[in-house]
Amino acid sequence: MNLRLSKAAGYAIHALHYMCRANSPKPIMVREIAQHLQLPYDSVLKVLRQLAKARVVTAHRGSKGGFSLRRPGAEITFLDVIEVIDGPLEAEPHPAGKGSHGKPIANDILAEATAQLKRLLAKGTIDSI
C-alpha cells in the first residue's frame, strides 16, 4: 500500500503556508504565490478556489484581488486541507481474504491505521511547518 499526498494537496499546503508566513493584511495574488513557490499558476489557482469554496480562504476580486486566510494558520490542519482537496481520508473495506470469523482480516487494521493517520494529520497545522 502506498500512501501519497496528491500534487494538488501539496500545492495547497505550500500555498497556505506561504500565505501564513506572508502575514499580509492585503489579499495575496495567485501569481505571487506561484512564482515564489515555483508552482504552476493554474494549479495554484485551482486549489485556492477549492479552498475558498470550503471556506478555508477568502477570494477577493478585482485588480488588487487575490486570496487571504479566513482563519489563522494555527487553526488550519493538514487533515482539513487534504480532505478539501482529495476528499475524505477513509480505509476502503476489502471483501477478499476472510478470516476464520468470516470477516475480512485487514479491514480492522486498515480502519485503525486510517484513524491514527487522521489523528496525526489533525495535529499538524499550516503554521507548524
| Reported pTM | 0.86
Whether the per-residue pLDDT at 129 is higher than 70: the answer is yes
pLDDT band (50, 70, 90) for residue 41: very high
- How many CA atoms are closer than 13 Å to the CA of 33, on its beta-carbon side? 30
Whether the per-residue pLDDT at 100 is higher than 90: the answer is no
Instruction: Return the ∠ at Cα 69 (arms to 68 and 75), rounded to 5°.
Output: 175
Q: What is the mean pLDDT of the chain?
A: 90
Pick the residue with more confidence: 85 or 129?
85
pLDDT band (50, 70, 90) for residue 107: confident
Report residue 39: phi and psi, to 5°: -115, 155
